Structure 1
Amino acid sequence: MRRPIAALLALALTALLALPAGAFSDVPENAWYADAAQLCVDRGLLKGTWEDTFSPDNAVTLAEVMTVAVRLHYQAHGGTGDPPAAPDSWGTGALSTPSGATLLTFNTCDLDRGLTYRYDQESPRRLHLYLTVTAEERAALTPAGGPAQAVLTLNGVTVLTGGLAPAEGSANRMEFVADPGSDYTAFNRELSAFLPAPASGLWYRDALWYAREHGMVDGQPMEASFEEPAARQDLAEWLCSALPQSALTPINTVDILPDSSDPEVLALYRAGILTGVDSTGAFAPERTLSRAELATVLARVADPSLRVTIPTAKTN
């Protein structure tokens, strides 16, 4: 969705410990968001940021928005708790011999490999994949009579066969060239999942894998770091990707907003889940939101009795 994934903060929000909201030292009992935070914790939608803290004033990150959307989707489809763990093979790649002996391994966060690829401009269309290797690897992989046969796997799935040889004009690069007439369906499918795979151990890795597996995001690499603050527009898009139509039953008539005509935003207004930021009903799509605000929105999703009826004049 936005800039390539940067695995910058390994455990900035990793703790996310499940505690009753009343046990959070920074959530006063009479706070305007306390009941919503309690409901979200009870339903397994939100957790703490560290031991006994909820951090209600912290800006919500894109990773947090994605994670709560995944929990909503998982629960809506019969799951309980957090979604399944991503497989260890996600974000890994390998070049092997036809008999299965591994020649080279790499992953999305292995910058030392300098992974790049291109297609031939002329016909037949062929993939060329390049990897940086050590001098020892290059010597071991240099074929004695031309390119060696090799099999390319991504995410543990065999995607292409071809030849492996030293790249021309480089002392430390190897080149894999796909066989003529290759079917690139599997390669394109697995590449779209391989490229944005975050590092093993990153706290939102499982949520991102689940989101991709269940069609909650498109097949392109993300365009923004997940550690960056999320905008209200991000929240609307992720909520709508997670919720079944039955969760968006209209209770309001909202045909237009002062600053948005986005169908997903309007659907959330009509369902009483979003209400705007001022008396005009303005959505403020680029504005960030706090964890307290996120809890309030999620509570309306989880408990339809909390949804808000909006006066028609407010948004027309």
Structure 2
Amino acid sequence: MKRIAGLILTAVFLSVLCIPCAATDTGRAYPGFSDVAEGSASYEAVKLCYERGLMNGTSETTFSPQGKLNVAQLVVLAARLYNLQNGGGGTVPDLPDLGQPYLRFYDEDGNKLIFFTMEEIPACNAVGESVYIGAAYESDGSELPETCKLEIGFEGYNHVKTFQGVKESHQSVPGTMNQGYVGTGYRFTDPDAASFTMLPGIQYVEQYKKAWWFPAVFYLGSEGVMNFDGELVYRASNGNNGDGSGYDPAVRFSKDNATRALFAWLVERSAGELEILNETVDVPDVNPDETQDAAAILRLYQAGVLTGVDQAGNFGGDKELTRAQAAIMLARVLDPALRVRPGG
């Protein structure tokens, strides 16, 4: 029972933590990288991405425009982009102290009902777009009010989120990890509930928290942009755990070069809603019914962020991404004036 509760509730915790800060200007003066010539195709894009705090150079004087972006670098860029697009300054928040997650139930007047740590939750499950959290066993639930407010967070961490719950009796399904639980709890139907069980669990945090890129993964997961295992790792490993012998993100993320397909999937999710400039797009090698993440790719074409890799307009999703190419496409997200319009 505790294992399922832990996995689901950990996902709940991670969905509420990182609130973007107020808009800021990084104020970074572009240093004029020696390997990005003024007037070149990527000059303005590199300059903008640097000034906004989205991309850095590979040294104080060079950008390495033809260098490849690896998966780890792309994930960090996506997290910075998400922060910028939501009023921040392109900062990836540090990991919180993960040792003391809690759930606190209050009545509508703000009076304490029940406080739990993760290990104390009697039952939890996700059904459709809602989450049920047990609050009391059958003998203890009669006095609970019909509605409650639930606060979720970590001890000593400032970011919390509250949800409105409705009282509901529950009997666990025989054969499940919660078998034997009969009691009263609350069902939460917040629109974000569908993603609660898809975000990084504590087992991933403990395994990867020392990786320099994991705060970006945690941040994007906590904001509901993507989940770590079922989505990011799946795509980074080409859907089959790489060579079949196991895909270890701690090793592979910093070694495997990012593809244009992975870039499109992450950036489309991180950029937020973008204005449609090109209603009709024809991308020969992107089949809406067969190509993975075709919808995300086509939306970036429609928004004037993506263009083809050849005269035919092919996307080239399996091609590796250079730093200059990434800068050009990211700059189009940051500045609508740079986006490609019909006939452009």
- TM-score, normalized by length of structure 1? 0.58
Q: Post-superposition shift, 1:239?
A: 1.2
2:222 alignment counterpart: 213
Verify the 8 A CA contact 2:217 2:228 in the aligned structure 1: no
Distance 1:22 1:192, change over 3 A: closer
1:217-260 deviations in whole A, cap 9, x for unaligned? 13635234322111111111111111222x2x121133431000
Moved more, 67-76 or 194-203: 194-203
1:232 aligns with 2:253: no
2:54 alignment counterpart: 45
Which residue, 263, 270, 273 being the options, matches 2:295?
Answer: 263
CA distance, structure 1, for counterparts of residue 324 and residue 78 of structure 2 = 16
Verify the 8 A CA contact 2:85 2:271 in the aligned structure 1: yes
Matches within 5 A, 1:125-164: none
1:196 alignment counterpart: 204
1:103 alignment counterpart: none
Q: Post-superposition shift, 1:40?
A: 0.5
Verify the 8 A CA contact 1:62 1:230 in the aligned structure 2: yes
Q: Post-superposition shift, 1:64?
A: 2.0
Distance 1:275 1:88, change over 3 A: same
Q: Post-superposition shift, 1:66?
A: 1.8
Which residue, 268, 272, 276 being the options, matches 1:244?
Answer: 272
Verify the 8 A CA contact 2:93 2:215 in the aligned structure 1: yes
Moved more, 45-54 or 268-277: 45-54
Verify the 8 A CA contact 1:22 1:29 in the aligned structure 2: no
1:68 alignment counterpart: 77
Q: Post-superposition shift, 1:278?
A: 1.0
Q: Which runs of 5+ in 1 are unaligned?
A: 1-17, 93-99, 101-154, 158-177
CA distance, structure 2, for counterparts of residue 72 and residue 43 of structure 1 = 10
CA RMSD of aligned residues (A): 3.5
Larger Rg: 1
- TM-score, normalized by length of structure 2? 0.53
Q: Post-superposition shift, 1:214?
A: 0.7
1:84 alignment counterpart: 93
Verify the 8 A CA contact 1:60 1:229 in the aligned structure 2: yes
Q: Post-superposition shift, 1:33?
A: 0.9
1:268-304 deviations in whole A, cap 9, x for unaligned? 1111111111111110111111001100001111111
CA distance, structure 2, for counterparts of residue 203 and residue 62 of structure 1 = 12
Distance 1:279 1:310, change over 3 A: farther
Distance 1:36 1:190, change over 3 A: closer
Verify the 8 A CA contact 1:277 1:283 in the aligned structure 2: yes
Q: Percent identity?
A: 32
Letter paired with 2:282: I
Q: Post-superposition shift, 1:38?
A: 0.4
Q: Which runs of 5+ in 2 are unaligned?
A: 1-26, 102-116, 118-152, 156-176, 188-195, 237-248, 289-293
Q: Post-superposition shift, 1:190?
A: 9.5
Distance 1:189 1:309, change over 3 A: closer
Aligned residues: 211
